[in-house]
Structures are given as C-alpha cells and as structure tokens.
C-alpha cells in the first residue's frame, strides 16, 4: 500500500510505542535526498520491502505498493545480487560488516542507477530486519569516470608534451646560435635601413617642396595666359585668329588641370588634401556639368545623355570636388569612347548613398587592370599613345574616400566601361567635414 506523510509519521509513533526505537531513530535521521527501505524475510520472499520511503519509490520508479510486493534483491543488477543477499543474511544474523556498499539497480523503466547503500540491523514487529539507507550516486560515478578519463588523457598529453619539449629543446639550442648571428646581421641591416629611410624622408620632403614651388611657378603665368586667350578669342573676329586663340585657351586649361593634379597629389601624400562639405543637390550639379561640357562633347563628335530620375536626396559633399570627380570621369570617357559614341550620366539612390555612373562605349578595361587604374601613375593613356600622368582616377578615388564613399568600374573588353562612385546622403564625421 502507499503511505502518506501522516501515515508515515503515525507508523513512526507506533514504532516508538512498541519499543522499536532503532527504526524510529533511523527514519528521523534520514538526510535530504536519502532513501530508506526496511527489508525483512518471510517464507515467501527474502528481502521483502516492509517499508519504503517516497524517495526510494522515486529512485526505483515503482509505487510504494508495488515495492511492498517485490524483493529488494529483484531490483539489483545481476552482478550485485548474490553478494548483496549474502550480506543481508549476515546482517539479519547480527554479524558486523563494513557499512558502505556501492551497487547498481534497474529501475522499472529499465534505466540503470548507481547507488550507495549503508545498512543497520534492527528488530521490527519482533523480527530481525535490515534498515537500508540509499543515495543515488549515478551523477557522482559519471563525474568520477570523467575525472579518471581526464586524468588519463592529461597523463598521455604530458608524456607526449614531454617528448615534444625534449625535441624542441634540442632544436632550440641549435636555433639560439642562428638567432644570435641573425640578430647581429639585423642590427647591421637596421642601421642601413635607418639611414636609407632618413634619406628617403628627406627626398620626399624636397619633392613636396619642389612640387609646391613648381605649381606656383606654373600657375602664375598660366592664369595670365588663360585670361588673355579667353579675352582674345572674344575680341578677334577674323580667321584664323579665333581658332588660334581657342587652341591657346584649351591647351592652357589642360595644362592648368595637370598642375592642379600635381598639387592635389602632393597634398594627398602628406595628408593635407581636404574637403569642405555642404548640402549639395546632385541633380542640379549633374545638369550643370552636362551643360558646361556639352560643347566639348559635340566638338569631339560624341553625344552626352543625362539619364536621371525625377528626384534624388541632398547629399553632404564638397561641391567643387564632386564636380572634379564627375568631370574627370567624363574626360576619360571622351578620350576612350568609340567614334560617334554615346556617354551616359546616371545617378540613383541606393540605401544611405547616392550612386553616380559615367558609362562609355569604348574598348573597355581588362579585368587585370580594373584595380590598377586607380593607383597613382598607372595610365591606359600611355598604352594608347594619348599621354597622361595617370593621376586622374587615383585622385577620384582619394576624393571619394574622403567623402566616405567607394569607387569602382564594371567593364568587359569591347563593350565599354561604367565607372561608379557612391556619396553618403548623411554627413560623415571626417576631418574634411570639420572644415565645412
């Protein structure tokens, strides 16, 4: 039968009244998580459960009523049964035996549990019984097994490591001599490198100073030439005067552009190339550029098409530098486009950026050159016999990066090239913006 808590307490009281103090004391001294079973013998069964605690029922998976109908030894794994029966008989007979045992039981659901058992003989209802105190040690045994495996693994690792360290120590001794010689050589090389670096820094400083001086010297007469040739082209009406004046003016403008590129390169090399940002309306800027450069496009027998949406958001950019980027890309398109070709100017909103595109119908850019063209001094012009310093796309990339954007090319040989660059819609915290 199942025992409620009140029935269990009542049973303990009756045991006390009957003088069965050993059982009562045992029940009251049970620790938390410890199960109790009172085992006795009768003609039909050896080791019958005369009493079973709720904790023991929980561990075995049987009800207390079911436990009352089976022997304790029926719950044990086969390898523990015989020795446990023998110990039980000795306990019933009053023999003194070592208290602690470890064994395995099979639950009602077939699962196996490791238990730890201590027992004490007593008299219950006038007959000798065996009071068993049981604790589930399954997790503890698993932990012990894991610890043993871990210890064995550590010992194996230590042995392997010892052999490795012994071998490494021999090699280390050999390396020490090589290292000392190498350190001496490195010390000599460091002194040489230091001298070369100092000389290189001096040369770079001289080049920057020379570039600034050269730009100044070239810009001064160029300003006068441009102004004079522009005025001359307006004043002179008879041929070939206007044509000659126009040639002077265009050549001076190209030379001024190259001088400006040299100056920007010098600034970028020393970190002094800045941008001054403000809110820019991209559509208005593109249409303005398209209008300004249209005569040059027509003179070269080409067509410029502005394929633009009705709306684009304002962008935070340096208007003059943005115009410089677009004009440089258009200038490249004019240079490499096919005869009577078309150049497209496009722009679109893409996430937090406005993406600009300049597309031509020229020979295209080979895959192996599509990264190199953005490096300084790399020029496809020279391969085509067109001249050029190879600074335009490098400066475009530098200026786009100062805006926290990206620039790239999409091209296939024989199918033209599309140059893209992105400019953020929202302001970015850059040194250039601080100057805005």
**Per-residue confidence at 11, pLDDT binned at 50, 70, 90?**
very low
| CB count in 10 Å sphere of residue 50 | 19
Angle at alpha carbon of residue 56, lines to 54 and 60, rounded to 5°: 120
Q: What DSSP designation does 286 have? A: H
Q: Which residues pair with 101 in a beta bridge?
A: 117
> Could you report the per-residue pLDDT of 101-111, keeping only the tens digit for each?
899 999 999 99
401 pLDDT exceeds 90? yes
Q: What DSSP designation does 75 have? A: G
**Per-residue confidence at 436, pLDDT binned at 50, 70, 90?**
very low
In the block, tokens 């003609």 appear at 43
Q: So what's the pLDDT on residue 38?
A: 93
Instruction: Answer whether 73's CB lies under 8 Å from 48's CB.
Output: no
End-to-end CA distance of the chain: 91
Bond into 242 cis (ω within 30):
no
What's the whole-number mean pLDDT along residues 266-273?
Answer: 69
Q: Which of 8-12, 169-173, 306-310 is modeled with the greatest confidence? A: 306-310
Strand residues in 82-168 grouped as ranges (E): 101-106, 112-124, 127-136
**Per-residue confidence at 66, pLDDT binned at 50, 70, 90?**
very high
Instruction: Answer whether 198's CB lies under 8 Å from 190's CB.
Output: no
Q: So what's the pLDDT on residue 253?
A: 65
pLDDT higher at 225 or 32: 225
> Could you report the per-residue pLDDT of 283-329, keeping only the tens digit for each?
999 999 999 999 989 989 999 999 999 999 999 999 999 999 999 99
Q: What DSSP designation does 163 have? A: H
| CB count in 10 Å sphere of residue 231 | 12
> Could you report the per-residue pLDDT of 111-140, keeping only the tens digit for each?
999 999 988 888 887 889 999 999 999 888
**Per-residue confidence at 391, pLDDT binned at 50, 70, 90?**
confident
Instruction: Answer whether 336's CB lies under 8 Å from 296's CB.
Output: no
Q: So what's the pLDDT on residue 47?
A: 93
**Per-residue confidence at 432, pLDDT binned at 50, 70, 90?**
very low
What's the whole-number mean pLDDT along residues 212-218?
Answer: 60
How far apart are the C-alpha atoms of 355 and 276, rounded to whole Å?
Answer: 20
Q: So what's the pLDDT on residue 193?
A: 86
Instruction: Answer whether 26's CB lies under 8 Å from 133's CB.
Output: yes
Q: So what's the pLDDT on residue 245?
A: 62
What's the whole-number mean pLDDT along residues 402-430?
Answer: 89
24 pLDDT exceeds 70? no
Least confident of 44-48, 267-271, 323-327: 267-271
> Could you report the per-residue pLDDT of 343-386, keeping only the tens digit for each?
999 999 999 999 999 999 999 999 999 998 998 877 765 555 45
User: If you write DSSP's letter for every residue of 182-215 in order, what string do you get?
Assistant: HHHHHHHHHHHHHHHHHHHHHHHHHHHHHHHHHH
**Per-residue confidence at 17, pLDDT binned at 50, 70, 90?**
very low
What residues have CB less than 8 Å from 296, skipping those under 6 apart? 334
Q: So what's the pLDDT on residue 6?
A: 40
Q: Residue 175 belongs to what H/E stretch?
A: helix 138-235
Q: So what's the pLDDT on residue 8?
A: 42
**Strands 303-307, 342-350: pairing kind:** parallel
> Could you report the per-residue pLDDT of 223-259, keeping only the tens digit for each?
767 776 666 666 665 555 565 566 666 666 666 666 6
Angle at alpha carbon of residue 29, lines to 27 and 33, rounded to 5°: 85
260 pLDDT exceeds 70? no
Q: What percent of the chain has pLDDT over 90?
A: 48
Nearest by Cα to 306 from 284, 328, 280: 284
Joined tokens for residue 88: 């039980």
| CB count in 10 Å sphere of residue 176 | 10
pLDDT higher at 156 or 272: 156
Joined tokens for residue 375: 């490096």
In the block, tokens 């208290």 appear at 99
How far apart are the C-alpha atoms of 394 and 373, rounded to whole Å?
Answer: 8
216 pLDDT exceeds 60? no
Helix axes 392-402, 241-269, angle to 10 degrees: 50
Q: Which residues pair with 409 in a beta bridge?
A: 419
Claim: this prediction has a pTM higher than 0.85? no
23 pLDDT exceeds 90? no
Q: So what's the pLDDT on residue 254?
A: 60
Instruction: Answer whether 373's CB lies under 8 Å from 409's CB.
Output: yes
Residue 35, phi then psi, degrees to nearest 5: -95, 155
């Amino acid at each position: 039968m199942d025992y409620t808590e009140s029935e269990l307490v009542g049973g303990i009281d009756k045991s006390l009244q009957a003088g069965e103090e050993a059982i009562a004391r045992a029940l009251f001294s049970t620790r938390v998580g410890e199960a109790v079973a009172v085992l006795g013998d009768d003609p039909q069964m050896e080791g019958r459960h005369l009493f079973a605690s709720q904790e023991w029922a929980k561990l075995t998976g049987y009800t207390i009523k079911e436990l009352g109908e089976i022997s304790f030894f029926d719950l044990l794994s086969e390898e523990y049964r015989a020795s446990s029966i023998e110990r039980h008989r000795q306990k019933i007979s009053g023999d003194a035996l070592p208290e602690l045992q470890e064994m395995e039981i099979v639950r009602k659901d077939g699962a196996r549990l490791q238990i730890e058992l201590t027992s004490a003989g007593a008299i219950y209802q006038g007959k000798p019984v065996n009071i068993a105190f049981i604790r589930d040690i399954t997790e503890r045994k698993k932990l012990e097994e894991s610890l043993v495996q871990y210890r064995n693994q550590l010992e194996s690792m230590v042995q392997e490591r010892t052999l490795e360290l012994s071998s490494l120590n021999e090699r280390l001794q050999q390396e020490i001599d090589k290292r000392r010689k190498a350190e001496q050589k490195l010390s000599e090389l460091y002194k040489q490198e230091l001298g070369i670096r100092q000389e290189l820094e001096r040369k770079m400083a001289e080049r920057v100073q020379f570039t600034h001086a050269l730009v100044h010297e070239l810009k001064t007469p160029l300003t006068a030439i441009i102004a004079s040739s522009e005025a001359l082209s307006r004043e002179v009406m008879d041929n070939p005067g206007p044509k000659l004046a126009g040639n002077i003016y265009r050549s001076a403008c190209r030379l001024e552009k190259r001088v400006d590129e040299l100056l920007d390169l010098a600034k970028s090399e020393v970190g002094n190339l800045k941008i001054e940002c403000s809110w820019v309306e991209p559509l208005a800027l593109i249409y303005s550029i398209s209008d300004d450069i249209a005569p040059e496009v027509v003179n070269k027998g080409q067509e410029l098409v502005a394929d633009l949406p009705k709306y684009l958001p304002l962008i935070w950019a340096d208007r003059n530098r943005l115009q410089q980027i677009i004009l440089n890309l258009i200038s490249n398109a004019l240079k490499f486009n096919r005869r009577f070709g078309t150049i497209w100017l496009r722009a679109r909103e893409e996430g937090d950026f406005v993406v600009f595109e300049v597309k031509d119908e020229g020979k295209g850019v080979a895959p192996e050159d599509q990264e190199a063209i953005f490096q300084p001094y790399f020029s496809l012009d020279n391969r085509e016999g067109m001249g050029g310093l190879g600074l335009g796309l490098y400066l475009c990339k530098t200026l786009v990066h100062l805006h926290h954007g990206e620039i790239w090319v999409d091209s296939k040989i024989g199918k033209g090239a599309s140059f893209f660059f992105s400019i953020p819609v929202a302001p970015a915290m850059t040194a250039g913006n601080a100057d805005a």
